[in-house]
Amino acid sequence: MRHFHASAVERRKYFKGTVSSHPMEAGWAGEAIFFLIIEEVKGILNAGVEISADGINWIKEGAVFPLIDKPGHYFCKVSHFGNWLRVSGEVEGEDAEIKVSIHLHLKA
């Protein structure tokens, strides 16, 4: 039987400028899916997944979300990572802001 964990990383949070989700330890998992539920967006969100060896210093993993300019549900899959994962990006544009929930699903 496979192990599964779902976590609400951020709930209905407003971001301006830099978006950085709460970091999550996921070293036991073999695959991860980040879900973004965008409720409000003014501007464009350019975001992707970051990994870390220590939960402090971050590196772009390479998996990215499509450019987000409207409310909706979005996801990004990751299958090769160490222990720490997070979503990071920029909200760009004049008076840019988003309201987002971020969920992480892990499976071993």
Per-position DSSP letters for 22-76, written without gaps between them:
PPEE-TT-SEEEEEEEEEEEEEEEEEEEEEESSSSS-EEEEEEPPPB-SSEEEEE
pTM of the model: 0.94
Q: What is the pLDDT of residue 55?
A: 94
Domains and CATH numbers, the chain: 4-107 (2.60.120.380)
How far apart CA 8 and CA 34 sit, in angstroms, is 10
Q: What is the pLDDT of residue 25?
A: 96
Q: What is the pLDDT along the chain (108 residues), one digit of tens a residue?
A: 789 999 999 999 999 999 999 999 999 999 999 999 999 999 999 999 999 999 999 999 999 999 999 999 999 999 999 999 999 999 999 999 999 999 999 999
Q: What is the pLDDT of residue 15?
A: 97
Q: What is the pLDDT of residue 59?
A: 97
